[in-house]
Structure 1
Amino acid sequence: MLRFAFSAAVFCALLSAPSAFAQTAPADAPLQGAPTAAPSRPITPPAETQKLLKKRNVVVLDVRTPEEFGTGHLRGAQNLNFRDPNFPTQLTALDTTKTYVLYCASGNRSGKAAVLMQEKGFRKLVNAGAYKDLKAAGLKTE
C-alpha cells in the first residue's frame, strides 16, 4: 500500500512538473496549427460612408464577384473581384493617392482587400461593409 502511494505521488509530480523539453508559449499566442483569422479593417457606418462618397477623388470599389456585382451595386462603383487570383496584380493599375471605399456582401472581403491594399502602399481606405446595408441606408445603387 505504501508503495502504491509513493508511486502515485511520483506520477502526479511528474505530470505537473514542466518538462525540460517542453516548449512554452505566451498565454495569448495562438495554438500550434490552429487557424488564425486574416487581418481585416473595421466597417465604417453607412452614414459616414455616404458623406465620404460626396467628396472628390473617392473611388468606390465593389470587391464582390462579377455575378454579385451584376445583381446590383453602388452607383459609380468599379468591380474588382477579390477572389480573382489576379486581384493583387490588378491593384497596381490603381492610384495609391486616392481614397478608396470598398464594400462586398458582408464586409469580410472588403476588409481583407483593404489590408492588402494598405500593404501595397494605399493609405486612404474605407471598409464600407455590406452592399445590402449600404442599399438599405439609402445609398444610390444601379
Structure 2
Amino acid sequence: MNLSQEDWVAQLESDENVVILDVRTEDEVNEGMIPKAINIDIHRGQDFITEIEALDRDKKYYVYCRSGARSGKACEIMNELGFDHAYNLVGGMLEWNGEVE
C-alpha cells in the first residue's frame, strides 16, 4: 500500500509492532537513513528474497528507498511472500522531512 509521508509517519508512530525497512544500496544508506531502519538491498536478488522470508510476517513493515519505486516493488514482493502489512513511502528519501541518522 502506498502512503504519503504524513500517513506513513502517523501510522508508524501509532503502532509498536513495526519494522522500518530501507531497500536502498549500501552507498545510499551511508548517506543517511531513517532512524531504527534495517537495510535489505532489493538489488541483491535472491539474497533479498531470502532475508525478507526470514522476517516476522506478523509485524507491519514501513518500506522506503530513494524515490518510492524500489520500495513499491519490495512491497509487492512482500505481499507475494505472505506479508499482509507492507507500506510504501511515496516519494522516498527525496521527499523525506523527518529525522535522518
TM-score with structure 2 setting the length: 0.91
- Tell me, in whole angstroms, the C-alpha distance in 2 between the residues paired with 1:102 and 1:87: 14
Matched, 1:88 2:49: yes
Counterpart secondary structure, 1:53 = helix
Q: Which ranges in structure 1 are unaligned for 5 or more consecutive residues?
A: 1-40
Counterpart contact for 1:52–1:58, Cα < 8 Å: no
Query: Equivalent of 2:64, from 76, 96, 103?
Result: 103
Which structure would you say has the larger Rg? Answer: 1
Query: Equivalent of 2:87, from 126, 134, 138?
Result: 126
- Tell me, in whole angstroms, the C-alpha distance in 1 between the residues paired with 2:64 and 2:73: 10
Q: What's the counterpart of residue 52 of structure 1?
A: 11
The number of residues matched between the two structures is: 98
- What whole-Å deviation, never above 9, does each CA across 1:60-100 have from its counterpart, x for those lacking one? 00000011011001011100100012111111210011100
Identify which of structures 1 and 2 has the higher relative contact order when contacts are C-alpha pairs closer than 8 Å and 6+ apart. 2
- Percent identical pairs in the alignment equals 36
Following superposition, which runs of at least 4 residues in structure 1 exceed 4 angstroms of deviation?
none
TM-score with structure 1 setting the length: 0.66
- Tell me, in whole angstroms, the C-alpha distance in 2 between the residues paired with 1:53 and 1:92: 22
Counterpart contact for 1:114–1:127, Cα < 8 Å: yes
Query: Equivalent of 1:70, from 4, 27, 30?
Result: 30
- Tell me, in whole angstroms, the C-alpha distance in 2 between the residues paired with 1:116 and 1:49: 19
Counterpart secondary structure, 2:35 = coil
Q: Which ranges in structure 2 are unaligned for 5 or more consecutive residues?
A: none
**Aligned Cα RMSD in Å?**
1.1
